[in-house]
Chain A
Amino acid sequence: MKKTILISVALSTLLLHATENSDLEKRVDSLEKVLNKQKQEKLKKALGGGNSFNQKSFIPDISLILSGSAVARNIDNNQYEGYGIDGFVERTDEIPFNKNRGFNLNYAEFGMHSVVGPYFDADAIFHLSPNEFEIEEAYITSKKLPVNLQLKAGSFKSGFGRINAIHQHAQHFTEQPLVYEAMLGVEGIKDAGVSLNWVAPTDTYLMVGSEALQGANELSFGKSSSNNLYVGYLKTGFDVGESTSMLAGVSVASGKTQNNRDSRLYGGELTLKHTIDSYSSLAWQSEYLYRDREDVKQAGYYTQLIYDKDSNWEFGLRYDALNKNSINQPDDLKKYAGIVQYKPFEFTKLRLQVDHDQSKSFGGIRKDENRVMLEFLVETGAHGAHAF
C-alpha cells in the first residue's frame, strides 16, 4: 500500500519535473529498502517467539504503606495494656497503634486494586502487624448496574459517619476519635456484607446508601449467628462560593447485641473546607454519635480543625468528649490532641502528636494520660488518590 502511494506520488511528480526523475527513483528505492528491512526484522522477531502468554499488563495496582512511631507516655506498658473507658469499654483486648513506650511498628499495609472485567472492580487491603495478618478490607464493586446504582460486596469499612471508612494513614490524627473508639472500637464498623448506594444527578451532591452487614462489632452489636446489622446514610454537599465546600450527613446503624436486644447508633456529621490556595486550606470537621443500646443511652462527639499551611506543613487540633453516659458512670470523659505534620514529599508524612486524655481507666482506676509521639507514614507504589 505504502509502496503504491509512494510510486504514484513519484510518478505524478515525474510528469511535472522530468529532470528530478533519477533523484526521486533513488529516494523511492532507499525507502523501499528500509521498509523491506523492517518487514524482515518483524518476521525474524516472530520466528523467535512472542509474548503470547504475558500477563504483565493485568497486574493489579499494588501499594505498600508503612506506619511506625516513637512514643513517650506517663503510663507504663503493663498498665496501658487492657485500659478501659468507663461505661463503654471494660477492657480493650487489642491496641493496634502506638502501644509501647519507645518504638512501635504499627503496620505494613498492602493494598491491591484491580479491574475484574466490565462489570466489577476488586479491592483488597491486607494489614500486617508484628503478630498479625489481617484482611482489613476485601470487596468487589459493581460498575454497570442500572440507574447508576453501586453495589459493594465482601468485607469492608462501613460508610457510616464521616470517618469510619477512612483508613488510618489518611486520617489527620493517629487514632480514631474517642467517641468511635468508645462505641465501635479502634477499628470502627468493619464487617462482611453488602452495600448499595446511589448518587442523585443534581448540582448539589446527594448520596443515599444502605448496607446489610453481619454485625460482628462487639462493642455496639455483636450477635453474629445470623446477619443482623443494617446501616443507612444520607450525605449531601455543596459549595459556598468559589472556595468553600460543605459536606454533611446523617447515619443510622441498627442491630442486635449478644443478648439479642436492640442496639441503635445515630450519627450526624458536618465538614466545612475553605481552600486558601492550591496547598493551603482550613477544614473544620465535627461528628456527633448517639447510642441507644439495650435501653442505655450514651453520646459523644469530636470536633477538629486542620490548617494546611503549605505543601509541607499541617497543623491540627481535636477535642473529644463523651458527654452522656449510663447511670453512675462519668459523663466528663474528654481528650485533647494536637498535631504538627511535616511532609517533605507528597507521599511522606512525619507527624508529631501531643495528647492529653482524661477518658481512660487503667486497672479500674481513672487516670489522665499524657503522650508525645512522633510518627512516620509513607505511601509507596500504585496507591489511589484520596477522596474529599
Chain B
Amino acid sequence: MRISIWSTPILVVIAILITFAITAVPILLAGANPIEAYIAFVITPLTSPFTLLEVLVSATPILFTGAAVAIAFRAGYWNIGAEGQLLLGAIAAAGIGTVVGGLPPLVALPLMVVGGALAGAAWALPPALLRVRFGIDEVVTTLLLNPVALLLVNGLLHGPWRDPVTGFPESPRINASAEFPALIERSRLHFGFLLALVVIAVAGYVLGRTPTGLRLRAAGLSPQGARFAGINISRTLLGAALVSGAIAGIAGVSEVAGIQNRLTGGLSPGYGYTGIVVATLGTLTMPGVTLAALFIGDLTVGASSAARSLGIPSQLGAVVQGVLLLTTVALLALRRNRFRRTEGADTPSATGDVAPEAAPG
C-alpha cells in the first residue's frame, strides 16, 4: 500500500494538529502559552511512573465505552446511549457488590461483571426493539434514556441506597471480595484495565475474523446489500445494540469495583459521550480505539495537571475532545469524497469510516 496523507494514522495525526491549532485560541484567552500547554497536556503525563499509571486509569472506562460505541456504529446502529448503559452497569455492580460478602472474589467478580453487562444490555434493549420492530430512530431514544439513567442513580442514592452511616448520597461500600484487585501495588490501576484489553481483543477478533463480524460490518456498510445477501438485518442490529450496551455496562462495573467502591452521583463525567470521541478517533477499529482511549486518557490527566500548573481551566479537556471529534469526522468525510471523485466508487469504508447511508426507517 502506498503511503499517502490520507492513510488513517496520518489522517488522525493531522486531525490532532488541526485541533491543537484551533484550541490554541481558548488557551491564549486563559493567558497561557499554547506550546507549553500542549506539552503539559500530552508529554508531562508520560514522564513520571505515577502519572503514567493514571493515564491507564483514565483510559480504562473509555476503552470500554469506545469499544461499545464502535461496535454499534460499525453495524450502522447509532447507540448514543452508552452513558446510560454505563450507569445501569454501575447500579448493578453496586447492588451485587454489597450482597456477595460471603463469596470468594473468583465468584463475586464474575457475578458483578455479568450482572453489569446484563444491566447495560437491558437498558439498550428498548431502543433497539423500537428500532428493529417499528423503525423508530434509535438516536433519540438512546439519548433520552441517558438522563433517565442518571435520575435512576440519583433516585437510588437519595432514597433506598443512601449511605446509612454517613447519610451522604452514596451507596454503602461494596464488600472487599467484590473490589477489583490493583494491578500494581499502591496504585489506582486495577483489574478493569486488563478486562478492557481482553474485551477489545475479543471484539477485534469477532469483528475481523468471524462470520458474525462480517454480517455486522455488512449491515453497517449497506443495509440493502446485506439484506440481498441474505443477512437478517434486524437480528444483526439487535445483537450489535445489546453487545454494545453490555460492554458499556461493564465500564460501569469497572468504575464501581475498581475506583469508587460504591455508587456515586459523579461516577461518570460523560464517559459514554467520550466513547463516541474514542470510537471515531479510532476509526471504529479495535486497535484504533485502544490508541485513541490511551491518548484521551493522556489528555485528561494532562488537563487536570495543567489546571494546577498553568491555570488553564480543566474544562479545556472537553473543548479539545469536541473539536477533535469534529476535525476527525470532517477529515474522514473529505477522504471519502476524494476517493469517490477519483475512483468513482463508494468503497473506502474498509477502514471503518462511518457510513452515512444507514438511515433509520
Are both chains from one complex?
no
What residues of chain A have their CB less than 8 Å away from a CB belonging to chain B? none
What residues of chain B have their CB less than 8 Å away from a CB belonging to chain A? none
